[in-house]
Chains A and B, each alone.
Chain A
Amino acid sequence: MAERNNGKDERPLVFTNARVVDPSRNLDAPGAVIVADRRIVAAGPEAARPAGAEVIDCGGAIVAPGLVDMRVFVGEPGGEHRETFASAGRAAAAGGVTSIVMMPDTDPVIDDVALVDFIGRRARDETGVRVHPMAALTRGLEGREMTEFGLLREAGAVGFTDGRHTVTSAALMRRALTYARDFDALIMHHAADPTLVGNGVMNEGEVATRLGLSGIPKEAEIIVLERDIRLAALTRGRYHAAQISCAESLDIIRRAKDRGLAVTCGVSINHLTLNENDIGPYRTFFKLSPPLRHEDDRLAMVAGLADGTIDVIVSSHDPQDVDTKRHPFAEAADGTVGLETMLAAALRLVHSGDVDFVTLFRALSTRPAELLGLEVGRLAPGAPADLILLDPDVPWVLEDAEALLSRSKNTPFEGARFEGRVLRTLVAGRTVYAYAPA
């Protein structure tokens, strides 16, 4: 990570002529951002520049906090052919993501202090972006015994989750939420009842029936979510639904928040911008868990983001290669890559007028940082200088998935038209990505 560099001898940086977006202060205004000693000195109206500063004229482009992506699968360790820290880090930096929260579904599983420690060291050596592991909620992701929440948290785990897996035992979930409270630890859960998912591979309904594919009912998500929220009420633990996919789930979260429970939720960029019809002729890059739902559900997700019911947008970056994706739909693995395209895809919601920049960056950066207890995700004075320079309007087309920096190319956005591109990404004041036009 950049902190190991001695930032003292780096010149201060001034981003002038910028549009400063900082959700932590509800700020979206023209101005400047001053960075010194790896931290934000000032972000707001143009102020006196420190002597000897390097001045960057933003030409009206946005300066915003770097993205904090709460749900990223990295292949390393165990699946380096799909993704390494180095390749994930390059993809993240190009997409404006400055903090990756890594899921514990690795081989071996991150369920032990030594693994958390290994991830920390390995990531520091390999990439310029920050990597925070979430540790497994249960040993081996097997859903039977809790992991050592206290020790893992001390070692640097920012939360606890069974990643792609759902904890089916209500008793275990209750104990986990109860015990996690003693460490103020966040429990993040993938809500999908495995018995209702069964052999389902896409959203249940007309499209699945036409394609002759087994459906996954919304109730697979809703029932687990309802259960978890009752347990969150019982235990007063901090519960975060990793990614919801349907309108009914949003109502459930809304009611829980109205009751004052410590319940939050995320949504993947895919569920905000795509729906089940995008699967078309059995395109496996659109095979996800939870599955892409109906357009009405997508619209509900967008509304939930706009009204604040949805706290966090994640990429759910899940690199898969031809070995796992080039199969008949029902036999292909779930998941898409997303680190590089999350922000560009999310900007569609701004361009369509559904959300403003402050709302968008709150969900992409500020809110996830708060939930995880990280001091990034804001441009307030004193905060780490993790920020991006973004031209929100420049049009571009993802012509060829092979151009992605991620080692795996399973993107649902090949051929997609975007508006908005990251020009520069900084972590702790150090540039980890700069856009170079071809």
Chain B
Amino acid sequence: MNVPPPPKPVAFPHRHLLGIEGLSPEEIVTLLDLAEEAVAVNRQIEKKKSVLRGRTQINLFFESSTRTQSSFELAGKRLGADVMNMAVAQSSVKKGETLIDTAITLNAMRPDILVVRHHAAGAVELLSQKVSCSVINAGDGAHEHPTQALLDALTIRRHKGNIAGLTVAICGDIAHSRVARSNILLLNALGARVRVIGPSTLLPSGIERLGVEVFRDMRKGLAGADIVMMLRLQRERMEGSFVPSVREYFHFFGLDAEKLAFAKPDALVMHPGPMNRGVEIDSAIADGTQSLIREQVEMGVAVRMAVLEALSAHLPND
């Protein structure tokens, strides 16, 4: 077998990607630039690269996810890795094997990269301490979802040219959202003005300390916004526990044409998916001309390729 060409040196000094926290603005831009190249590759007929040839990537999802998992799978395969998907049902883990046991078992199979999603905040970091390969956080509880924030930033940058100076309004269930946390960190790092909008029951205590402006009134919060980022509201949270009903939530916090009109005329609408049409977003808006929702999915693959490529520089070569 031929020796693969040495990977292109990248200015990304981390072995894992556990969150946006801890990344410098320059490192974020490095990843976005790499992703930009991947977008071009993904639009060619020949989409294969060989950066990860011979490498094994395991997608370990303790929480089911169609979109993120298939995006990581495709990204790995396009870079030449052997990708294995492991769906670990929550119940079987609870029955016996702990997260750490699972990590040690998997580590023995000598993967090069583990992509992990888990329902508990901090679980991915805990796992990363117990394995010898690179670990990518694909979402841990209400903590972080770094590749989502990166793909959102890439999408925004491609349309607005720059992140700095933009006003971004993140709307909905901030309290339970890892997407919100990672986006707040990333957008602040790149110089955007970040707002969060939601009912008080879905705004976590001390959120203003994370460098955001807090709004409880969607119209005021959207006024003058460049980007409107909607979050998914989980069904069990909208029937009396955090908000009284779907009807009431949509009335005050659902994105429709009337509310969107308060944002800038060229404001763009985003959603990490999967959407609850008619709960947090009106179908006409989701499918409308201002919506970037489908493009976010495309950028997702590119960003995950960029992350895998950046981490590949740190994979052991002997």
Q: Which chain A residues have a beta carbon within 8 Å of chain B's beta carbons?
A: 204-215, 217, 281-282, 323, 326-331
Q: Which residues of A contact B121 (CB under 8 A)?
A: 211-213, 282, 328-330
A sample of 18 more A-B contacts (CB under 8 A), given A209-B205, A326-B98, is A205-B205, A206-B205, A206-B206, A207-B206, A209-B204, A209-B207, A209-B209, A212-B142, A213-B141, A213-B143, A215-B204, A282-B121, A282-B126, A327-B120, A328-B99, A328-B121, A328-B126, A328-B141
User: Chain B 162-188 against A: per-residue CB contact (8 Å), 1 yes, 0 no?
Assistant: 000000000000000010010000000
Q: Which residues of A contact B125 (CB under 8 A)?
A: 281-282
User: Chain B 115-151 against A: per-residue CB contact (8 Å), 1 yes, 0 no?
Assistant: 0001011110110000000000000111110000000
Q: Which residues of B contact A214 (CB under 8 A)?
A: 142
Q: Which residues of A contact B141 (CB under 8 A)?
A: 212-213, 328, 330
User: Chain B 154-167 against A: per-residue CB contact (8 Å), 1 yes, 0 no?
Assistant: 00000000000000
Q: Which residues of B contact A212 (CB under 8 A)?
A: 121-122, 140-144, 178, 181
Give the contacting residue for B120; candidates A204, A207, A208, A328; CB below 8 A.
A328
When A and B form their complex, what is the total count of cross-chain residue pairs whose Cβ atoms lie within 8 Å?
72
Total interface residues in chain B, CB < 8 Å: 24
Known: A212-B141, A212-B142. A282 touches B206 (CB 8 A): no
Whether B209 contacts A328 by the Cβ 8 Å rule is no
A-B contact pairs, 8 of them (CB 8 A): A208-B206, A210-B21, A212-B142, A212-B143, A217-B205, A282-B125, A328-B118, A330-B120
Q: Which residues of B contact A326 (CB under 8 A)?
A: 98, 100
* Minimum CB–CB distance for B149 against chain A, Å: 13
User: Chain B 88-130 against A: per-residue CB contact (8 Å), 1 yes, 0 no?
Assistant: 0000000000111000000000000000001011110110000
Q: Which residues of A contact B21 (CB under 8 A)?
A: 210
Q: Which residues of B contact A210 (CB under 8 A)?
A: 21, 181, 210
In the complex, the chain B residue whose C-beta lies closest to that of A326 is B100
Report how far A286 CA is from B207 CA in the complex, Å.
23
Q: Which residues of A contact B142 (CB under 8 A)?
A: 212-214
Report how far A63 CA is from B307 CA in the complex, Å.
62
Give the residue among B21, B120, B210 with the most A Cβ atoms within 10 A.
B120
Whether A211 contacts B122 by the Cβ 8 Å rule is yes
In the complex, the chain A residue whose C-beta lies closest to that of B120 is A328
Report how far A281 CA is from B99 CA in the complex, Å.
17
Report how far A208 CA is from B142 CA in the complex, Å.
10
Q: Which residues of B contact A204 (CB under 8 A)?
A: 205-206
* Minimum CB–CB distance for A251 against chain B, Å: 21
Q: Which residues of B contact A213 (CB under 8 A)?
A: 121-122, 141-143
Q: Which residues of A contact B122 (CB under 8 A)?
A: 211-213, 281-282, 328-330
Give the contacting residue for A209; candidates B98, B140, B210; CB below 8 A.
B210
Report how far A212 CA is from B20 CA in the complex, Å.
13
Q: Which residues of B contact A211 (CB under 8 A)?
A: 121-122, 143
Report how far A213 CA is from B123 CA in the complex, Å.
12
Report how far A204 CA is from B143 CA in the complex, Å.
15
Q: Which residues of A contact B144 (CB under 8 A)?
A: 212
Whether B178 contacts A208 by the Cβ 8 Å rule is no
In the complex, the chain A residue whose C-beta lies closest to that of B62 is A328
Q: Which residues of A contact B99 (CB under 8 A)?
A: 327-328
